[in-house]
A = this chain, B = another copy of it.
């Protein structure tokens, strides 16, 4: 069963990564039955809060395949993606997600994705992080220019 091979690889990557000082998370992107890229959590090592395994592997796979559209790809991740990573997976147009541990398992060992999921479901005014709309009239200009631009690359 080829899915097993790739999931075991993602798990192996996660273990190797924690041995090397990273977080206990690993991910693999596969296309047409072949590994395109592997990624691991390097948040504390790289001083990069966005360096989760899934974001890392998406960036690497997109660079390797020379496209921002990873449709036709699958991601194998040692843990259910957090909202940041799930958002990245949607933007990348990845078809399918295989995950090992759940977000509740992650919360139990101190990685509180569940909190962020809850926050995203709240109305803006009720979130822990303050969100203030500001100068919308001025900001609109960018979108007007985008609509008018003829040679834009849409995605």
Binding site for B on A (CB under 8 A): 3-4, 7-8, 11, 14-15, 18, 21, 23-26, 43-44, 46-50, 52, 55, 58-59, 62-63, 65-70, 76, 78-80, 82-102, 105-106, 108-110, 115-117, 119-121, 129-136, 138-143, 145-147, 149, 152-155
Contact = CB atoms under 8 A, between A and B. Distances in A.
Contact of A142 (B46, B67, B101): B101
Of the candidates A69, A76, A138, A143, the one having the most CB atoms from chain B within 10 angstroms of its own CB is A143
A96 B142 contact: no
Contact of A109 (B48, B63, B79, B146): B146
A134 B76 CA distance: 9
Contacts of A46: 68
A24 B144 CA distance: 9
Contact of A84 (B91, B105, B134): B91
